[in-house]
């Protein structure tokens, strides 16, 4: 886990990590969210809607933005304050995702960080986010 201090941050600082989507993640998300839409659970229903398999919950993939800021950028002293999110492509169990984030703006007066982030599946962007993060004083 990174533990950046304010003095170590700069515009352009970036981090990334990879995650493989699993059936276990889907079961955990179903249990937590209660979202039992058949698009996420029933392969026949997903196929009838034009998808090759059940679609991974968009909000499940979006939880990876929390990991980005809470573990990597800025890490330990972060407080997630807001997120603007666009989901553009579906993901499926077994997909390998790359989560990338880069500091786009620093507001020293409020100790607020703006991070532009993206989740990619190969060369395809599946979502983009603008994340606002505060940095705790320690």
Give pLDDT tens digits for 16-31.
999 999 999 999 999 9
In a domain, 4, yes or no: no
CATH no. for residue 110? 3.10.129.10
d(CA 124, CA 66): 21
Percent of all residues in the chain with a pLDDT value above 90, rounded to a whole number: 96
Range of the domain at 83: 13-135
Average pLDDT of the residues of the chain: 97
Cβ distance 96 to 22 under 8 Å?
no
Report the number of distinct structural domains present in the chain. 1
In a domain, 38, yes or no: yes
pTM of the model: 0.94
pLDDT one-digit tens code per residue, 42-101? 999 999 999 999 999 999 999 999 999 999 999 999 999 999 999 999 999 999 999 999
């Amino acid at each position: 886990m990174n533990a950046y201090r304010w003095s170590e941050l700069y515009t352009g600082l970036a981090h990334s990590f990879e995650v493989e989507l699993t059936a276990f993640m889907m079961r955990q998300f179903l249990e937590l969210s209660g979202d039992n839409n058949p698009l996420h659970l029933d392969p026949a229903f997903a196929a009838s809607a034009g998808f090759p398999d059940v679609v991974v919950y968009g909000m499940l993939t979006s939880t990876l933005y929390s990991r980005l800021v809470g573990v990597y950028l800025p890490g330990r002293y972060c407080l997630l304050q807001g997120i603007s999110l666009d989901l553009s492509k579906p993901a499926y169990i077994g997909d390998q995702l790359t989560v990338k984030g880069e500091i786009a703006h620093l507001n020293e007066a409020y100790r607020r960080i703006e991070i532009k982030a993206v989740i990619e599946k190969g060369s395809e962007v599946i979502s983009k986010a603008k994340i606002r993060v505060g940095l705790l004083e320690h």
